[in-house]
């Protein structure tokens, strides 16, 4: 009499741990295996645990670069790792469609891209799962005078809420007043509202338009005002909705222009164009401590990589303290890597578009996190 062999039963806890170590593309496909896997993979807690595993390095994932074009309703994402091939190929191309044209990349958090359209409405999009949030109401204040450096994307970890902080120009009574408004995604009947504290003192001549969310705060550069030419970093706590200041390196406090902010690996960076001949990168090793600012990279711009204007070459993303991906915004735009260990540029990758100057982009990590 033949015996029927039964398949071994794998404990649910072990299945959970195994699935946590798989890339998003595989997990999204494995939802079709059975109902229990679909329920598990689609659960918000699994998405958070998977994201934590990815950030901690438990999953071998590579950051991706998202390019959003003004003249199209599509965006393209690439594996950042493909930039380092010889020649660079930007393979693993993904495309996704958006509503209308003239979308602007605001930032990315937890695998979600925040995009703004021509009508000043905002939405969140997960390019890994193709899920999209509801569109925000149109920003209520005329903001064209601050385009495109007027919106910042942040995450309220305490309440698990995604927020956009935007600045506009109130032209009532023919008076030029800068105002701040805050929008929270996912709340019923949510609308733009004023922040708890008045931010008008900190939005004079906003500089920079990079992803600036780190340590629970959004950041931007501005002059202190009141007759002072000191440049400071204004911070906005997304949880508490309060603001403060983060001091620049002592060497940079008297510099008014040629500075920009960047974030990488949960650290705050500032870039400085020095006499238009080199780009200097500073890292704040301990958040909020002025003495912890450290000069980590100096890139000479007196080369064939920027023949027309040195300030056209700017950091798009920073990979550790050794490698940076730079974008050139000249008439023939391209991306290029720079390795500070050997002081060498990589080979250029040209952005081929009908309107090549009109594109925005940033880096994100793949995740299962659904837009609210």
Domains in the chain, ordered, with CATH?
12-50 (no CATH), 62-364 (2.120.10.80)
pLDDT at 84: 74
Write down the pLDDT at residue 162: 96
pLDDT digits (tens, 9 = 90+) for 257-275: 678 888 887 899 998 887 6
The answer to whether residue 357 scores a pLDDT higher than 60 is no
Token readout for 280 is 């200097």
Beta-bridge partner residues of 327: 314, 335
* Helices assigned H by DSSP within 276-350: none
- Note if the bond before 148 is cis, omega within 30 degrees: yes
Number of residues that make up the chain:
372
pLDDT in tens, 286-334: 999 999 999 998 888 765 555 444 446 778 888 777 888 888 766 566 7
- Token pair in block for residue 79: 């594996």
- Give me 104's structure tokens: 């602007």
So what's the pLDDT on residue 195?
67
* Encoded tokens for 335: 């991306």
Q: How do residues 172-203 score in pLDDT, each as one tens digit?
A: 655 566 778 899 998 876 788 876 555 655 55
Cβ neighbour number for residue 34 with a 10 Å cutoff: 10
CA atoms within 13 A on the CB side of 31: 15
Q: What is the pTM of this model?
A: 0.85
pLDDT score recorded for residue 356: 46
What integer pLDDT is reported at residue 299 of this predicted model?
A: 86
How far apart CA 103 and CA 68 sit, in angstroms, is 7
pLDDT at 231 over 70: yes
Which of 19-23, 77-81, 236-240 has the weakest average pLDDT?
Answer: 77-81
Q: Does residue 239 register a pLDDT over 90?
A: yes
What is residue 354's predicted lDDT score, i.e. its pLDDT? 46
pLDDT at residue 223, rounded to an integer: 72
Position 329 scores a pLDDT of: 63
pLDDT in tens, 102-160: 678 888 999 999 988 878 889 999 988 888 899 899 887 665 555 556 789 999 999 99
pLDDT, greater one: 321 or 344: 344
Tell me the percentage of the chain whose pLDDT exceeds 90.
Answer: 17
Average pLDDT, the chain: 78
Q: Residues 6 or more apart from 100 whose CB is under 8 A from it?
A: 73, 117, 118, 119
pLDDT band (50, 70, 90) for residue 216: very high
- Mean pLDDT over 159-171 rounds to 85
Give mean pLDDT, residues 18-41: 88
Q: According to the model, what pLDDT value does residue 292 have?
A: 95
């Amino acid at each position: 009499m033949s015996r029927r062999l039964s398949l071994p039963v794998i404990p649910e806890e072990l299945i959970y741990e195994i699935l946590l170590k798989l890339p998003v593309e595989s997990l999204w496909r494995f939802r079709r295996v059975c109902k229990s896997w679909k329920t598990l993979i689609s659960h918000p807690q699994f998405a958070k645990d998977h994201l934590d595993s990815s950030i901690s390095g438990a999953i071998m994932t590579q950051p991706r670069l998202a390019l959003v074009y003004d003249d199209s309703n599509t965006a393209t994402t690439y594996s950042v790792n493909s930039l380092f091939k010889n020649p660079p190929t930007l393979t693993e191309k993904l495309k996704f469609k958006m509503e209308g044209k003239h979308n602007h990349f605001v930032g990315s958090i937890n695998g979600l891209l925040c995009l703004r359209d021509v009508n000043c409405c905002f939405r969140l999009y997960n390019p890994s799962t193709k899920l999209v949030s509801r569109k925000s109401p149109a920003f209520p204040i005329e903001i064209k005078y601050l385009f495109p450096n007027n919106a910042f994307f942040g995450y309220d970890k305490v309440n698990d809420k995604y927020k956009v902080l935007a600045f506009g120009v109130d032209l009532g009574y023919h008076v030029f007043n800068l105002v701040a408004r805050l929008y929270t995604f996912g709340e019923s009947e949510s609308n733009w509202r004023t922040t708890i504290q008045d931010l008008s003192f900190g939005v004079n001549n906003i500089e920079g338009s990079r992803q600036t969310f780190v340590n629970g705060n959004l950041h931007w550069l501005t002059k202190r005002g009141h007759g002072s030419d000191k440049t400071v970093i204004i911070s906005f706590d997304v949880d508490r909705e309060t603001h403060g200041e983060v001091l620049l390196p002592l060497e940079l406090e008297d510099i008014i222009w040629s500075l920009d902010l960047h974030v990488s690996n949960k650290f705050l960076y500032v870039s400085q164009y020095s006499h238009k001949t080199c780009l200097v990168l500073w890292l704040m090793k301990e958040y909020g401590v002025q003495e912890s600012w450290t000069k980590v990279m100096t890139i000479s711009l007196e080369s064939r990589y920027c023949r027309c204007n040195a300030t056209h070459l700017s950091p798009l993303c920073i990979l550790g303290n050794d490698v940076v991906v730079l974008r050139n915004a000249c008439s023939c735009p391209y991306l290029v890597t720079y390795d500070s260990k050997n002081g060498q540029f990589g080979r250029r990758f040209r952005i081929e578009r009908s309107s090549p100057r009109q594109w925005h982009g940033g880096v994100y990590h793949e995740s299962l996190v659904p837009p609210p």
